[in-house]
Chains A and B, each alone.
Chain A
Amino acid sequence: MPLAFVAWITVQTGWETVVELVFRRRVGELLVNTLLLVLLTLPLSVLVAVALAWLTERSDLPGRRFWAWLAVAPLAVPAFVHSYAWVTVAPGLHGLAAAVLVSVLAYSPFLYLPVAAQLRRLDPTMEDVAASLGHGPWRVFLTVVLPQLRLAVCGGSLLIGLHLLAEYGLYVMIQFDTFTTAIVDQFQSAYNGPAANMLAGVLVLLCLGLMGGELLLRGQERYARVGSGAARRAAVTSLGRATLPCLLVPLLFAALSLGVPLLTLGRWLVIGGSRVWQGADIGGAILQTVTLALAGALLTTLAAAPMAWLSVRAPGRLQRVLEACHYYVGSLPGVVVALALVTITVRVALPLYQTVATVLLAYLLLFLPRALVGLRASVAQAPVELERAAMALGRTPLQAVRQITFRLAAPGAAASMAMVALGITNELTATLMLAPSGTRTLATEFWSLTSEIDYAAAAPYAVMMVAASLPMTILLHIQSKRAAGR
Chain B
Amino acid sequence: MSFLQVQGLGKRYGDAVALEDVDLSVTAGSRTAIVGRSGSGKTTLLRIVAGFETADTGRIVLDGRPLVDGGGMVPAHRRGIGYVPQDGALFPHLSIADNIGFGLDRNGADRRTRIAELLEAVELAPQMLERRPHELSGGQQQRVALARALARKPALMLLDEPFSALDTGLRDSLRRTVARVLCEAGIATILVTHDQSEALSFADQVAVMREGRLTQVGPPQELYRRPRDRETATFLGDAIILPAEVENGWARCSLGRLAVAAGPQRGAAEIMLRPEQLRLVVDDRDAPPNAAGGGPEGWGRVIDVEFGGSVCKVAVTLGNAPGQPGPLLLRHSSLDLPRIGSRVRIQVQGEAHLFDAPLR
> Are B87 and A228 touching (Cβ within 8 A)?
yes
> Are A227 and B93 touching (Cβ within 8 A)?
no
> Are B75 and A131 touching (Cβ within 8 A)?
yes
A144 and B165 alpha carbons, distance in the complex (Å): 24
> Are B88 and A226 touching (Cβ within 8 A)?
yes
Chain A proximity of B67: nearest CB distance (Å):
13
A139 to chain B: closest residue by CB: B77
> Are A229 and B51 touching (Cβ within 8 A)?
no
A-B Cβ contacts below 8 A, count: 101
A205 and B210 alpha carbons, distance in the complex (Å): 65
The segment out of B28-36, B146-154, B230-238, B285-293 that lies at the interface is: B146-154
A136 and B76 alpha carbons, distance in the complex (Å): 8
Q: Interface digits, B208-227 against A, CB 8 Å rule (1 contact, 0 not)? A: 00000000000000000000
| Known pairs A221-B132, A228-B165; A132 contacts B50 (CB<8 A) | yes
- Which residues of chain A are within 8 angstroms of B133 by Cβ–Cβ distance? 226
* CB neighbors of A among B76-94 (8 A): 76-83, 85-93
A128 and B75 alpha carbons, distance in the complex (Å): 11
Chain A proximity of B45: nearest CB distance (Å):
15
Q: Interface digits, A130-142 against B, CB 8 Å rule (1 contact, 0 not)? A: 1111111100100
Is A123 part of the binding interface, using a Cβ–Cβ cutoff of 8 Å? Answer: yes
**Which of B52, B78, B151 counts the most A-chain CB atoms under 10 A from its CB?**
B52
From A128, A136, A229, B87 is in contact (CB under 8 Å) with: A229
Chain B proximity of A237: nearest CB distance (Å):
12
> Are A125 and B79 touching (Cβ within 8 A)?
no
Residues of B in contact, count (CB < 8 Å)? 38
Is B138 part of the binding interface, using a Cβ–Cβ cutoff of 8 Å? Answer: yes
> Are B77 and A125 touching (Cβ within 8 A)?
no
Is B180 part of the binding interface, using a Cβ–Cβ cutoff of 8 Å? Answer: no
A137 and B53 alpha carbons, distance in the complex (Å): 14
Chain B proximity of A448: nearest CB distance (Å):
50
Is A129 part of the binding interface, using a Cβ–Cβ cutoff of 8 Å? Answer: yes
> Are B134 and A222 touching (Cβ within 8 A)?
yes
B78 to chain A: closest residue by CB: A134
A129 and B53 alpha carbons, distance in the complex (Å): 13
> Are B93 and A148 touching (Cβ within 8 A)?
yes
Chain A proximity of B124: nearest CB distance (Å):
16
Q: Interface digits, A423-440 against B, CB 8 Å rule (1 contact, 0 not)? A: 000000000000000000
Is B193 part of the binding interface, using a Cβ–Cβ cutoff of 8 Å? Answer: no
A137 and B52 alpha carbons, distance in the complex (Å): 12
A131 and B47 alpha carbons, distance in the complex (Å): 12
From A134, A225, A227, A228, B152 is in contact (CB under 8 Å) with: A134
> Are A133 and B87 touching (Cβ within 8 A)?
no
Is B103 part of the binding interface, using a Cβ–Cβ cutoff of 8 Å? Answer: yes
From B52, B90, B102, A133 is in contact (CB under 8 Å) with: B102
The contact size tier of chain A is 20 to 34
| Known pairs A125-B87, A227-B141; A132 contacts B134 (CB<8 A) | no
A115 and B193 alpha carbons, distance in the complex (Å): 35
From B132, B149, B154, B165, A222 is in contact (CB under 8 Å) with: B132
> Are A148 and B92 touching (Cβ within 8 A)?
yes
| Known pairs A129-B83, A227-B138; A134 contacts B89 (CB<8 A) | no
Is A255 part of the binding interface, using a Cβ–Cβ cutoff of 8 Å? Answer: no
> Are A129 and B85 touching (Cβ within 8 A)?
yes
From B53, B79, B93, B141, A132 is in contact (CB under 8 Å) with: B79
Q: Interface digits, A108-140 against B, CB 8 Å rule (1 contact, 0 not)? A: 000000000000000101101111111111001
From A123, A129, A223, A229, B93 is in contact (CB under 8 Å) with: A223
A133 and B91 alpha carbons, distance in the complex (Å): 13
Chain A proximity of B117: nearest CB distance (Å):
17
> Are B87 and A132 touching (Cβ within 8 A)?
no
> Are B89 and A227 touching (Cβ within 8 A)?
yes
- Which residues of chain A are within 8 angstroms of B87 by Cβ–Cβ distance? 125, 226-229
Chain A proximity of B145: nearest CB distance (Å):
8
Is A147 part of the binding interface, using a Cβ–Cβ cutoff of 8 Å? Answer: yes
* CB neighbors of A among B158-180 (8 A): 158, 165
- Which residues of chain B are within 8 angstroms of A128 by Cβ–Cβ distance? 47, 50, 52, 76, 83, 85, 89
> Are B91 and A132 touching (Cβ within 8 A)?
no
From A129, A221, A222, A235, B89 is in contact (CB under 8 Å) with: A129
Is A150 part of the binding interface, using a Cβ–Cβ cutoff of 8 Å? Answer: yes
Chain B proximity of A222: nearest CB distance (Å):
5
**Which of A130, A137, A221 counts the most B-chain CB atoms under 10 A from its CB?**
A130
| Known pairs A225-B92, A229-B86; A132 contacts B102 (CB<8 A) | no
**Which of A133, A148, A225 counts the most B-chain CB atoms under 10 A from its CB?**
A133
Q: Interface digits, B106-122 against A, CB 8 Å rule (1 contact, 0 not)? A: 00000000000000000
Is A453 part of the binding interface, using a Cβ–Cβ cutoff of 8 Å? Answer: no
Chain A proximity of B316: nearest CB distance (Å):
40
> Are A131 and B52 touching (Cβ within 8 A)?
yes
- Which residues of chain B are within 8 angstroms of A129 by Cβ–Cβ distance? 83, 85, 89, 145, 148-149
Q: Interface digits, B128-141 against A, CB 8 Å rule (1 contact, 0 not)? A: 00001110001001
Chain B proximity of A302: nearest CB distance (Å):
40
> Are B93 and A133 touching (Cβ within 8 A)?
no
A235 and B48 alpha carbons, distance in the complex (Å): 13
A147 and B165 alpha carbons, distance in the complex (Å): 26
**Which of A123, A131, A135, A140 counts the most B-chain CB atoms under 10 A from its CB?**
A131
> Are A133 and B141 touching (Cβ within 8 A)?
no
6 A-B contacts, Cβ less than 8 Å apart?
A130-B77, A132-B149, A136-B77, A147-B91, A223-B93, A226-B133
Instruction: Report A's interface with B, CB cutoff 8 A.
Output: 123, 125-126, 128-137, 140, 143-144, 147-148, 150, 221-229, 235
Since A132-B83, A143-B102, A222-B134 are in contact, a sample of 5 more A-B pairs with Cβ atoms closer than 8 Å, ordered by chain A residue number, is A132-B77, A133-B151, A148-B93, A150-B93, A229-B86
In the A-B complex, the 7 residue pairs with the closest CB atoms: A227-B87, A133-B103, A131-B76, A132-B83, A125-B89, A147-B93, A125-B85
